[in-house]
Amino acid sequence: MTQEEILEDVNPTRMELLKLKDRIELAKKGHKLLKEKRDALIMEFFDLVKKASEVRERAVERLMKAYEKLAAAKTTVGAAGVRCASMAAAEEVRVDVGSRNVMGVVVPILERVSGDGGVRLAYGFADTSGALDEAARAFREALDAVLELAEIEETLRLMAEEIERTKRRVNALEHIVIPRLENTEKYIEMKLDEQERENFVRLKRVKSLIERRRVEELEERLRESGAELPELE
């Protein structure tokens, strides 16, 4: 076990071992929760990918329809008439930007804001035709689809970043943090076992010294009393 495989500045004590066991348990719980979050995010991500494909097709379809309506309007009032009508439009496109929480990821909500419900056409009807009205409505519908697509694609980008961050944290816990904590736990247990063996040997030596001193003291007392010492076989 190398120094890189354990925590730095670790005191091999029982108190430190208890703290380390708590850290390991907490790290494993965090690892489990992050794995569950990662898996849930990936499932949600692929569901959104499917939805994004459908929204993209719808946005393209509406844009194509809007440009077809615009081409039809140009044939009736001319390109100059369409240009004049567009310049006369006083309505600004306003987008309300909100947010929501998806699996801990804050994602945007985009919605076009229109006080009149999006039906007012801000140009005169004298020099225009119904084709131009249809083109304007078609572009409003296309804009709504584009906003929906922008919302879902930004959500996908943010979720992809969160998935990557979560995967890195899961891998760090699984391959670095938890193994290092467990190696440190084994290191402390090994050191504590060594200390116990050393203490056991030390105690035996102390006990042997005490017994030897007692024998020596007994022999000295017997000599002082003039008694004969028994011969040891």
pLDDT tens for each residue of 76-101: 767 776 676 666 555 567 888 899 99
Binning pLDDT at 50, 70 and 90, where does residue 127 land?
A: low
Q: How many CB atoms lie within 10 A of CB 7?
A: 17
Share of the chain above pLDDT 70, in %: 81
pLDDT tens for each residue of 25-62: 999 999 999 999 999 999 999 999 999 999 999 999 99
Binning pLDDT at 50, 70 and 90, where does residue 126 land?
A: very low
pLDDT of residue 214: 81
Burial of 162 (0-12, 13-18, 19+ CB in 10 A): buried
pTM, two decimals, is 0.70
List Cα–Cα distances, 17 to 53, 174, 198, in angstroms.
53, 20, 19
At residue 232, the 3 state secondary structure works out as coil
List Cα–Cα distances, 218 to 54, 212, 231, in angstroms.
101, 10, 14
* Residue ranges of domains in the chain, CATH in brackets: 13-182 (1.10.287.3240)
* HSE toward the beta carbon, residue 67, CA cutoff 13 A: 5
Does the pLDDT at position 154 exceed 80? yes
